[in-house]
Chains A and B, each alone.
Chain A
Amino acid sequence: MTLLEVENLTTRIATRGGAFNAVDGVSFALDRGEALGLVGESGSGKSMTCLSLVRLLPKRAAQIVDGSVRLDGQDLTALPERSLRRLRGSEIAMILQDPLLSLNPVFTIGSQVAEAVRLERPRPRRDEVRARTIAELARVHIPSPEQRLGSYPFQFSGGMRQRVAAAISIARGPKLLIADEPTTALDVTTQRQFLDLLTELRREDEMALLLVTHDLALVRETCDRVAIMYAGRIVEHGPVGRVFDAPSHPYTRALLESIPSLTGARRARLTQIAGEPPDMHELPVGCRFAPRCPFADERGRASYPPSFAVPGGGEAACWLQGDRG
């Protein structure tokens, strides 16, 4: 059952060096209850994609110039701000990387969660609000929630803050949760706990998850499908198992090979990727990864490849995949 359908989303941003499409014709779909990982490095456009979905773009600097975002059939890009505001929080929710940014440092945890609870329609009664607040905190496994209502964010550890942020986001049972690098600022052991929590919450409410991250390995554990972004476009997508076991696009393959893992030969020289991500103001003609691709040929350098189907599921935007197909 398709919940979210993004088609040809293009977001243009203006910098002093010039304007460019940070999100350049991105399409993907998400079913109810499904988890999609959006993976990319800095500058790939993954965060801009998230902000574009909920239209939280800085007004003067960024604008959606093309494409559509359909939530349950409704095009969010065409909605007036008022209607969109009603959807935010109730239908779509978002968690950011740094819980210190999501939480207001001068208000107590209890008051911030209660604020979200009170937005529920029909509006809950006073006594219900307190009970609901405690329930939400318990749901994200905050120990002794009743005693913690009066605590401030600085008194919590990073992982707990992130869980509180999650509680606030999902208090009204949204259908879609967008998590932008939610665990990057957390320790490894805490990351695990938090992702487990997200999975648990999803199962309870059949909530879809769009997990944006630069960490491929995280996606394997938490998501059903994955989309890899590079220079504003999705270069490969598919079921998590297939993409990890049989990556098609050279960028995906290079990333997987270049990351040290706990298994495999030790102290071997890591496979490295030549060059650097491109300057978005001066994109190459043709495939954007071609300058760094060990398999690049004239086709790749001349024109941007279309997306070809990959056996096992998904697609890859690479001429070589077209050859194989």
Chain B
Amino acid sequence: MESVAVGVLEPRRRFGRVPWLPLVLLAPLVVFGIGGKHVAPHAVTAFNLDATLQPPVFMHGGAWTHLLGSDPLGRDTFSLLIVGARTSLIISVVGVALAGAVGVLVGVAAGSRRGALDEALMRIVDMQLAVPPILLAVLLAGALGGGLRTVIATIAVAFWPTYARIVRGETLALKQRDFVQLAVVAGSGQVRIARKHLLPNLLSSIVVVGTLQLGAAVGVESALSFLGLGVQAPNTSWGLMISDGKGYLDTAWWVATFPGVAIAMTVLGANLLGDWLRDELDPTTRDR
């Protein structure tokens, strides 16, 4: 059999291009998140009623002791930001991961099995989506008490239906594609098809949805803490910081603004990272 002249491209190394911008934006979150209170210049519980509402160092009246100023209780804004990062990071990542795990499982199951299982699962999804997140938070807070766990649970419960819907839709579309049909012809069972054909091709959607949800989760956490349903004192989070600072926006803007900026950076960084990750994970776009 004669050999066909093959113009086969050499595959490029995985993760060749480095995504600088997202990494820069997310680096502080990660560093602070991991370091937590060990990295912070002041203890979060260090109330200093002599130095309340001190402005940041670059403003008149500021000092290096409180780099970004201090809050109404004299706590160092910078330290709060660092410790709050850890809280926000844990909550968002765990919450979205849980939502993703459940959502993808449900979506793939419903999409590949169809029939009664699909109907049942999608009705649950619908019912879930009908409940407003805030109400959900209140109910869960009532059941579990406030704090970290409540927020994580709220995020997981509020976000998994979105995942399930999207994944189910994509699964349905994937199932019709030739290569999946041919996998059936090749004798592959449903589990093998889900593992080798569906999930890898769902990956980019899952990643993109995940990063968007990460951003949203940080926002949800902030909102809940703002409302008092989430993280409670003496713990801190970015949302709580905003809540504490909301009354001082015209006098001591730094208390609420820095955490706001931190949230924006995180959301943007997560989305950009998601874009990069999606392109890297897709072999067809990777080599361009």
Write the residues of chain A forming the contact surface with B, with a CB cutoff of 8 angstroms: 16, 274-276, 279, 291
Contacts and interface: CB of A to CB of B under 8 A. Distances in A.
A276 B7 contact: yes
Contact of A276 (B2, B5, B288): B5
B127 interface: no
Contacts of A279: 7
A296 to B, nearest CB: 14
B288 A275 contact: no
A274 B288 CA distance: 29
Nearest to B288: A16
Interface in B1-19: 2, 4-5, 7
A21 to B, nearest CB: 19
Nearest to A16: B288
Nearest to A277: B7
A275 B4 CA distance: 5
Contacts of A276: 4-5, 7
A274 B5 CA distance: 8
B105 to A, nearest CB: 37
A291 B288 contact: no
A274 B2 contact: yes
Contacts of B288: 16
Contacts of A275: 4-5
A290 to B, nearest CB: 13
A276 B7 CA distance: 9
Nearest to B2: A274
Most buried by A among B2, B4, B7, B288: B7
10 contacts: A16-B288, A274-B2, A274-B5, A275-B4, A275-B5, A276-B4, A276-B5, A276-B7, A279-B7, A291-B5
Nearest to B5: A275
Interface residues of B, number: 5
Interface string B1-44: 01011010000000000000000000000000000000000000
A42 to B, nearest CB: 14
A211 B217 CA distance: 57
A291 B5 CA distance: 10
A291 B4 CA distance: 12
A291 B2 CA distance: 15
Contacts of A291: 5
A96 B110 CA distance: 41
A270 to B, nearest CB: 14
B12 to A, nearest CB: 12
Contacts of A274: 2, 5
Contacts of B4: 275-276
Interface in B100-119: none
A74 to B, nearest CB: 40
By Cβ-Cβ distance, the 3 closest A-B pairs, closest first, are A275-B5, A16-B288, A279-B7
A274 B1 CA distance: 12
A2 B5 CA distance: 43
Given A274-B5, A275-B5, 8 more contacts: A16-B288, A274-B2, A275-B4, A276-B4, A276-B5, A276-B7, A279-B7, A291-B5
Nearest to B7: A279
Contacts of B7: 276, 279
Nearest to A279: B7
A135 B7 CA distance: 52
A291 B7 CA distance: 13
Contacts of B5: 274-276, 291
Q: Which of A16, A275, A279, A291 has the most CB of B within 10 A?
A: A275
Nearest to B6: A276
Nearest to A281: B7
A171 B48 CA distance: 84
A42 B4 CA distance: 18
Interface in B271-288: 288
A7 B285 CA distance: 38
A279 B7 CA distance: 8
Nearest to A282: B7
B267 to A, nearest CB: 30
A17 to B, nearest CB: 8
A279 B9 CA distance: 11
Contacts of A16: 288
A279 B5 CA distance: 11
A16 B287 CA distance: 10
A274 B6 CA distance: 12
B171 to A, nearest CB: 27
Nearest to A15: B288
A16 B285 CA distance: 11
Nearest to A291: B5
A3 B276 CA distance: 52
A262 B202 CA distance: 46
B110 to A, nearest CB: 30
A279 B288 CA distance: 16
A292 to B, nearest CB: 8
A274 B4 CA distance: 7
A159 B2 CA distance: 41
B285 to A, nearest CB: 10
